[in-house]
Amino acid sequence: MFSLGSSHRYYLFGGHCDMRKSFDGLCGLISGHLGRSATSGDVFVFLNRRRTHMKLLHWEHGGFVLYYKRLEGGTFPIPKNSGSGGRIDWSELVLMVEGIVVEKSRRRHRFSLQKAV
C-alpha cells in the first residue's frame, strides 16, 4: 500500500537520471553512486536533466514500489540544504513535489535524543 511519510529517510540522487530506468537500473544507481542498499527501506528520489520528471524508489515488505510524477509545466525545485549523501527531509520532499520554493527561512533548534554509542 502507499506508505510514505515522515518516518522514512529520503535520499536525493545528485545527478540527473534517465527516466527510462526502472527498478533494476535505479537499484544500480543507488548501490553504485550512493553506496547504499536499495532494500534498506529508505526512499530514493531521482530527477531527469530538465527536472520535469521525478521517480521515487522504495522497498516495502515483499517488493519495490516505484512512484513517478511528470509535470506538464514548470520544474521541480532542488532543496538547497540537502544533508550528507543527498539526504533530504520529508518536508523538503513535499515542498519539491508541490513546487514551493522557500526564499528565506531559518530552522530553529529542536530537542533530540542523542543515542549512546
Place of cell 533530540: 112
Measured in degrees and rounded to the nearest 5, phi and psi for residue 45 equal -110, 130
Burial (CB < 10 A; 0-12, 13-18, 19+), residue 116, is exposed
pLDDT for 9-51, tens place per residue? 999 998 899 999 999 999 999 999 888 999 999 999 999 999 9
Place of cell 520554493: 101
The C-alpha atoms of residue 23 and residue 61 are separated, in whole angstroms, by 15
Residues in a beta bridge with 57: 44, 66
pLDDT for 65-89, tens place per residue? 999 999 999 999 988 766 567 899 9
pLDDT at 108: 81
pTM, two decimal places = 0.82
The C-alpha atoms of residue 110 and residue 107 are separated, in whole angstroms, by 9
